[in-house]
Chain A
Amino acid sequence: MASLDDLKKRIASVKSTQKITKAMKMVAAAKLRRAQESAEKGRPYSDKMNNVILNLSSGISDKENAPKLLSGTGNDKVHLCVVMTSDRGLCGGFNSNIIKKAKSYFAKLSEEGKDLKIVTVGSKGNDQLKRFYGNKIIANMSFKESKNANYFDAEKVGKMVIEKFESEEFDVCTIFYNQFKNVITQIPQAQQIIPLNTDNSEENKSEDSYEFEPDEDEILSNLLPKNISTQIFKAMLENSASEQGSRMSAMDNATRNAGEMVDKLTIEYNRSRQAAITKELIEIISGAESL
């Protein structure tokens, strides 16, 4: 059994850990509100952008000559996966969930005999993936310096993806991120951005036709690269809200666990203190009796 002194030290250390996790929870809660707000504010832009593109692609006359970003290269050989994670740890299953999703996708690809290339955004994802897929990772980006997700960073990722697409390094591009549902639920998502998925265009197909200036092809070829950045930016916003939400609930759990541990240790401390007193009393009494 641990001595009284040891127990005392442990209680003190658990308490100070609890203080840290509590503070982290508070910080995460404050950041979460901001991140959630900007995720919500960012939605109209990406939704509108999507709408315009759907309208355009349903109006396009010549599917054969459509821009490659929309129709694909015609091949399905090399897959580029952009795995978006956080730069900081201590956020529960946030990063592992994305990685798990990504890994199962990778496994499926290799079963089908497809080539795989990985771009990681965020250092945590890179750390976890480089052990198994180190040779597949072609680039790693992290935006530790930027406090909030911003469009400028998203554009950097988008530009890189488009450059690689234009130099024909891959055929299909998928991004992995966590979609923010609420504080306790974040859903890992795999979203294909190249070629663009226009399957659901039937639902919101508009009856009236648009006038285009200049023509559809030219607008599309200008719009599609922007859409890539927009989708990546949306993923970044969702990710940062998810990260804070996940961290908040993880830290909440940690604080509660630390509290339980302190209670348990305090009981053990009191018990052993009493036991020691009783033992001393017995010794004194039996000493007195033997006289």
Chain B
Amino acid sequence: MSEEFKVEIVNPEKSFLIKEDVFEVVVPAFEGEMGILKDHISIISFLKPGIIKILSKSGDENYFVEDGIVEFKNNNLSILTSSIFNLNDLDKSKQQDLLKQAEEEANKPEINDQSKYLVDQKIEVLRSLN
């Protein structure tokens, strides 16, 4: 029996990625990283900023996301996100830009606890990339 399932990443503009030969996906879920294998129970969760790792037959891929929702059902994994970047395309200068934006946001006085937490996460992830 094959151990593969389908993953689909959608952003508001288009279907970002569809892959049918995936063994495992690791997503940065809100309460910690979560690995999803075939025949996982149906689950809905949302993402915090982090790296999505996709392990598949045709090679591994890494993506940086800022937010999103994951839904897993009948061996279909859907990831909805409004901002996603392929790590290979994310060069140093772009990382710096994102980092700068995040730092600016973190320093705003009116920020609330939850978004502060998310921004801090983002900064941490971005720093670890460098």
Contacts and interface: CB of A to CB of B under 8 A. Distances in A.
Interface of A: 38, 41-42, 44-46, 48-49, 51-52, 55-56, 150-151, 154-155, 206, 208-214, 219, 222-223, 226, 230, 233
Q: 4 shortest A-B CB distances, which residue pairs? A: A41-B14, A151-B12, A213-B45, A211-B43
Interface of A is mostly: helix
Interface residues of B, number: 22
B42 A209 contact: yes
Interface in B94-125: none
Given A42-B13, A45-B12, A206-B73, A219 B78 contact: no
Interface of B: 10-15, 29-31, 34, 41-46, 69, 71, 73, 78, 80, 82
A223 B42 contact: no
B12 A233 contact: yes
B80 A45 contact: yes
B73 A38 contact: no
A226 B66 CA distance: 13
Do most interface residues of chain B lie in helix, strand or loop, or is the interface mixed? strand
A208 B73 contact: yes
Nearest to A56: B44
Given A45-B80, A214-B31, A38 B44 contact: no
Contact of B14 (A38, A55, A226): A38
A230 B11 CA distance: 10
Contact of B69 (A38, A44, A223): A223
A157 to B, nearest CB: 13
Given A45-B80, A52-B71, A211 B10 contact: no
A191 to B, nearest CB: 17
Contacts of A213: 29-31, 34, 43-45
Contacts of B30: 213-214
A159 B73 CA distance: 30
Contacts of B73: 206, 208, 210
